[in-house]
Chains A and B, each alone.
Chain A
Amino acid sequence: MNFRKYLDFRLLGFIGSISMIISEFLSWYSELSLFSIYVLSTSLAIGDSFLYLFPLICGIICLFGTSLLIYNFEYKINSVIINFIGLGFFLIFISNIIIKDIIYLSTIRIGFYFAVIGAIFVFFDILNILLIK
């Protein structure tokens, strides 16, 4: 069976961004999802609560970038730049939240893995777009 016929590697970014959006609603630490943490920290007026939405924002921006590419391959540089902006949000999230909460890394749940794998997919999607002739 010729898998290449059915598998479009441009879908990497699509799967990655969907995965990041889903991760927002899956459990990260204990049973809490990032969205629940955001709601909780907003209601308690804890600073930086908006940061907990960054994986979701990243997923939405990357989804837009990937959709643009799927819509028309001519816009590949635009798509790369949009994906890059999206990933920037994830990097900021990692550098602000993960480092602060590194002590909880041992109790990390599936949401974290979804987000990281999603980001890696988007990263490889950027490379893939730029390397395609």
Chain B
Amino acid sequence: MGHELRRKIIKIIGENDFSSFTTLKKELRVSTGTIYHHLDSLSQLIEQREDKKYYLTDLGVHAYNSLKNNIETIISPNFSSREFNSPILKGLMFLTPNQLINYTENKKLYSFLVSLIILIIGAILCGLNNLFPIFLFFGESPLNSGLNSSIFLGVFYFINFFVYALLIESICRLFYKRKENWDKLFISFGIIYFPLVLYLMIHLIFILTDYIIFPIIGIIDNIILILLQVWSLWILAYNLIVNKGLKVENALIISFLLHYGGFSIILLLSI
């Protein structure tokens, strides 16, 4: 189960109850020999019945259920299950809306709508807070707060979203040769912004109640931002793992480099 192709085979058979060899070849787009090799390795999880089609064994059904819960999906050969059971990663996985990111075809619209709502709320809150976003960071807007400024920041929030998503898709294609599931990545990309929308809400409450003038509230506001950014980055990494098939290490590298890149831009603009 450590190999991505094997997980895909289990998923294809699990989702359709059975699968023919032709379907597997069509879905996986690899050579016949490679498929046979992996089918042999999965002999305890898959069986070929008299109709020549492949079915899951009881153990295979169990493995498929684990995959559906996205537990095995993120365990790469370099990512031990012991580490996965640590409180930090368990907590992050608990907070990851995996059903919205790794959605099935019948939940596509639902995922899209949730993503869109998060984006719209985020854009409104960005305008109200007078903050301009760069990837997953926020900087103080140099414009005076007002309706025009709020509209501009809201529009900029959407532009930031598209630029960020396009950049990530381009990196996946250029450096990791991953072209698959670009539509799934885009549809669920707004969900990455959910923790930041929470931050914008908290920040707005602090501003409206004038609590932000208290130094300790300012510090709490900053700490909340750090923690919610980490949550956002984890959701982004998770999105790349399940939709682009990247290893957890590579997904984190992309997330972190872009995050620090965003910070550098904010720093340069502020100076």
Contact = CB atoms under 8 A, between A and B. Distances in A.
Interface of A: 47-51, 74-78, 80-82, 84-85, 88-89, 91-92, 94-96, 99, 102, 123, 126-127, 130-131, 133
A79 to B, nearest CB: 9
Contacts of B89: 77-78, 81
B216 A50 contact: yes
A78 B267 contact: no
B151 interface: no
| Chain B interface, DSSP helix/strand/loop, else mixed | helix
Interface residues of B, number: 36
A96 B226 CA distance: 14
- Residue of B214, B215, B234, B248 with most chain A CB atoms under a 10 A cut-off: B215
B266 A88 contact: no
B260 interface: yes
B111 interface: no
A47 B252 contact: no
Given A84-B230, A89-B226, A92-B222, A74 B215 contact: no
Interface of B: 78-80, 82-83, 86, 88-89, 92, 139, 213-216, 218-219, 222, 225-227, 229-230, 233-234, 248-250, 252-253, 256, 260, 263, 266-267, 270-271
B16 to A, nearest CB: 33
Given A84-B233, A89-B226, A92-B226, A126 B267 contact: no
B256 A51 contact: no
Contacts of B260: 123
Nearest to B255: A84
A48 B218 contact: yes
Given A75-B83, A77-B83, A48 B226 contact: no
Given A84-B233, A99-B270, A130-B253, A50 B83 contact: no
Nearest to A50: B219
Nearest to B250: A130
Contact of B227 (A48, A85, A95, A127): A85
Contacts of A133: 78
Contacts of A88: 225-226, 229-230
Contacts of A91: 263
B267 A94 contact: yes
A50 B266 CA distance: 22
A92 B266 contact: no
A95 B229 contact: no
A54 B162 CA distance: 33
A99 B139 CA distance: 12
Nearest to A129: B249
Contact of B215 (A48, A78, A123, A131): A48
Contact of A74 (B80, B214, B270): B80
Given A85-B227, A89-B226, A92-B225, A131 B249 contact: yes
Nearest to A41: B215
Contacts of A95: 139, 263, 266-267, 270
Contact of A78 (B88, B229, B256, B270): B88
Contacts of B83: 74-78
Q: Which 3 A-B pairs have the closest CB atoms?
A: A88-B226, A47-B215, A130-B249
